[in-house]
């Protein structure tokens, strides 16, 4: 085991332990309120022995992580801490969050953070709490703070916004787009089966597991069964093995491998002979040469716009920004109303230009090459303009993405 640290929200220092080989798939363990990373010791060791690298993190105001001078223990501070940690990791982990840690993780990945993790495990993270449970939990935490002085900041109890946490957790749940497992201790006095089932039904494709002889702190009560449940889920939904494509095997595997190269998104446009604009979404776009100024795009031979693009003397490549995802979707499907629903104008070199794009390249057809099931259209750039204030729409592993600035 080794130690590590991260810069969280507003520069607060967050500390953790690291188990296992750095080349193995990553798991991030996030404890609950009034706990520390020590609660994960048995689980972390078991995961590392099974071929996973593990980071057990102390939340702000807990364990060896810093206690903020300003007493910021609102839910947003915890969520931004986790997003900051995820942005500093070398790969997208499976996040395992217990109670508070589960709420934080669900909000972090459900509120436009799907690109930050590869899976999510919620360990007895209840979507609802009644007043009896709230008072009981608060009483337990206050008592624990007296017996474990220095383990966590008691100011958290007064400053944490439980209602905000639960509301954001439930709002984020339907937007979580990754493998999810909800684990409940069968003896939990915090989460009942009905409440657990309700949140599982709201998360697309989520799974549910219940561990006997375990209460709310399921990872500590039955670490052996909890670890086995985690490993079974991860090997099934987020496996360790690296997919491999060999010539003649499943083309979907090759497509997924090619999808590991992140690209921008463009819409290629031209005019038909009758003057009607045509266009399609393409992410196979690259610069070829500066002297002469050449670029290329690849167009599927099945595209309805192919004949017009092959025949047109001029065409345009419109690079999309993050606000133009609807245009990307629109031009990726057959339809006659693409240009009626998208602002555009005629360029100086007789090609349709999408308005307010990140960049527009007006080109003269230079060469056309056969490229298997695509044609390779090479254009000479006659004119280009771009907006340096905007950020690109990205495409990676079959999903739209956006830049993250660390």
Q: Please provide the DSSP assignment of 150-183 as one string.
A: TSB-THHHHH--HHHHHHHHHHHGGG--S-EEEE
At 303 the pLDDT is: 93
Closest by CA position to 184, among listed 211, 152, 222: 211
DSSP 8-state class, residue 93: P
Across 250-338, where does the E strand assignment appear? Answer: 263-264, 266-271, 277-282, 285-290, 293-300, 314-319
Is 36 in contact with 16 (CB distance < 8 Å)? Answer: no
80-124 residue pLDDT tens: 999 999 999 999 999 999 999 999 999 999 997 777 899 999 999
What value does the mean pLDDT of the chain take? Answer: 91
How many contiguous H segments (helices) and E segments (strands) does the chain have?
Answer: 12, 20
Is 118 in contact with 238 (CB distance < 8 Å)? Answer: yes
161-171 residue pLDDT tens: 888 999 999 99
Q: Which residues partner with 385 through β-bridges?
A: 360
253-284 residue pLDDT tens: 888 888 889 999 999 999 999 999 999 999 99
Q: What residue ranges do the domains of the chain occupy? A: 2-237, 257-401
CATH among 2.30.110.10, 3.40.50.300, 1.10.357.10, 1.10.10.10 for 257-401: 2.30.110.10
184-203 residue pLDDT tens: 998 888 888 888 888 899 99
22-75 residue pLDDT tens: 999 999 999 999 899 999 999 999 999 999 999 999 999 999 999 999 999 999
Alpha helices by DSSP H, listed for 238-272, are 251-258
CATH among 3.40.50.1820, 3.10.560.10, 1.10.1040.10, 3.10.20.30 for 2-237: 3.40.50.1820
Closest by CA position to 183, among listed 215, 154, 158: 215
């Amino acid at each position: 085991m080794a130690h590590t640290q991260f810069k969280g929200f507003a520069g607060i220092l967050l500390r953790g332990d690291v188990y296992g080989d750095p080349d193995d798939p990553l798991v991030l363990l996030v404890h609950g309120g009034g706990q520390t990373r020590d609660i994960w010791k048995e689980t972390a060791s078991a995961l590392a022995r099974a071929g996973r690298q593990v980071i057990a993190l102390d939340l702000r105001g807990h364990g060896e992580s810093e206690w903020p001078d300003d007493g910021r223990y609102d839910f947003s501070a915890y969520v931004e801490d986790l997003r900051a940690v995820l942005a500093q990791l070398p790969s997208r982990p499976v996040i395992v969050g217990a109670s508070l840690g589960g709420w934080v993780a669900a909000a972090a990945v459900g509120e436009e953070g799907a690109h930050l993790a590869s899976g999510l495990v919620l360990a007895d993270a209840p979507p609802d709490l009644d007043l009896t449970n709230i008072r009981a939990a608060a009483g337990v935490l206050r008592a624990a703070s007296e017996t474990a002085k220095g383990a966590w900041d008691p100011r958290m109890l007064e400053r944490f916004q439980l209602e905000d946490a639960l509301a954001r957790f439930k709002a984020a749940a339907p937007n979580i787009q990754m493998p999810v497992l909800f684990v409940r201790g069968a003896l939990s006095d915090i989460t009942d089966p009905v409440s657990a089932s309700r949140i599982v039904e709201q998360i697309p494709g989520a799974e549910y597991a219940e561990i006997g002889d375990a209460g709310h702190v399921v990872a500590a009560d039955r670490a052996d069964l909890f670890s086995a449940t985690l490993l079974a889920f991860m090997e099934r939904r987020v496996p360790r093995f690296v997919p491999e494509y060999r010539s003649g095997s499943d083309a979907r595997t090759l497509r997924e491998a090619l999808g590991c190269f992140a690209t921008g998104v463009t819409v290629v446009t031209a005019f038909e002979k009758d003057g009607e604009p045509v266009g399609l979404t393409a992410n196979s776009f690259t610069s070829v040469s500066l002297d002469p100024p050449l670029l290329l795009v690849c167009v599927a031979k099945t595209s309805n716009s192919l004949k017009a693009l092959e025949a047109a003397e001029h065409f345009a490549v419109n690079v999309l920004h993050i606000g133009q995802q609807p245009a990307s979707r629109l031009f990726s499907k057959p339809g006659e109303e693409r240009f009626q629903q998208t602002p555009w104008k005629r360029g100086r070199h007789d090609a349709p230009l999408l308005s307010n794009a990140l960049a527009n390249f007006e080109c003269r057809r230079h060469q056309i090459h056969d490229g298997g099931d695509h044609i390779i259209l090479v254009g000479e750039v006659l004119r280009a303009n771009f907006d340096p204030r905007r950020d690109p729409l990205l495409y990676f592993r079959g999903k739209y993405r956006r830049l993250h600035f660390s």
